[in-house]
Amino acid sequence: MAKINTVLFDFDGTIMDTNNLILESWQHTFRTVEGKERAAEDILETFGEPLNITMGKLLPQVPVEEGVKIYRSYHHDRFTELIEVFPGIPELLAELKHRGYKTGVVTSRLRNTTELGLKTYDMEQYFDTVVTCDDTDKHKPDPEPVNIALERLGAKPEEAIMVGDSMFDILCAKNAGVTSAMVGWALAISEGDKTGENQPDYILEKAEDLLAILEQ
């Protein structure tokens, strides 16, 4: 493996714990549209997918724009109240910057809430670029989001690692020729995903595990 000098992170469920926010936003949408909630498992398996695509799948009876408006209204109002950083992430990001790694966020989230989340926890200082769904025509698992980040950072695929919490992240990394790492605190990953055909190259049980990988 080539020496890694670039680290890319997913946002939701990887550096920022937005799990409850996303679940509650979907349940609010289901209650509004259908009058009842759904099983959490139905939502978890869509984690990492762009909202417009998931909305069309889960609520095909409602115009996507209408469903998205319901979801985002609740999501925006509760955003800073319901998010928090995963343990060890700020320390990891600070150490990566100290060691001179190029860093970026690659997310299917909108830019405004991505930047709001980073700013709320004073983490925008740690990232050299932020690629959101506003920046891409194609989305994870297509390699385009990672490719955009690499181009902005002047990095080669073999010099980069992508850290994420869903198979959308892992497949995006693989499709871009980038090393992949799955966080051990992911909610949307099964044991089969961790050991199957498309398994990640690494699994991080805690944030600082990444440093040992980079030192190899």
Q: For the segment 138-174, what is each residue's pLDDT rounded down to a tens digit?
A: 999 999 999 999 999 999 999 999 999 999 999 999 9
Q: Residue 3: which pLDDT band, with cuts at 50, 70 and 90?
A: very high
**Could you say which architecture CATH assigns to the domain 19-82?**
Orthogonal Bundle (1.10)
Task: For residue 201, indicate whether it is catalytic.
Answer: no
Residues forming CATH 1.10.150 domain(s) in the chain: 19-82
Residues forming CATH 3.40.50.1000 domain(s) in the chain: 6-17+84-214
Q: pLDDT tens, 38-78?
A: 999 999 989 888 899 999 999 999 999 999 999 999 999 99
CA angle 131, 133, 134 (to 5 degrees): 85
Which superfamily is assigned to 6-17+84-214 in CATH? Answer: HAD superfamily/HAD-like (3.40.50.1000)
State the catalytic residue, choosing from 10, 12, 17, 169.
10
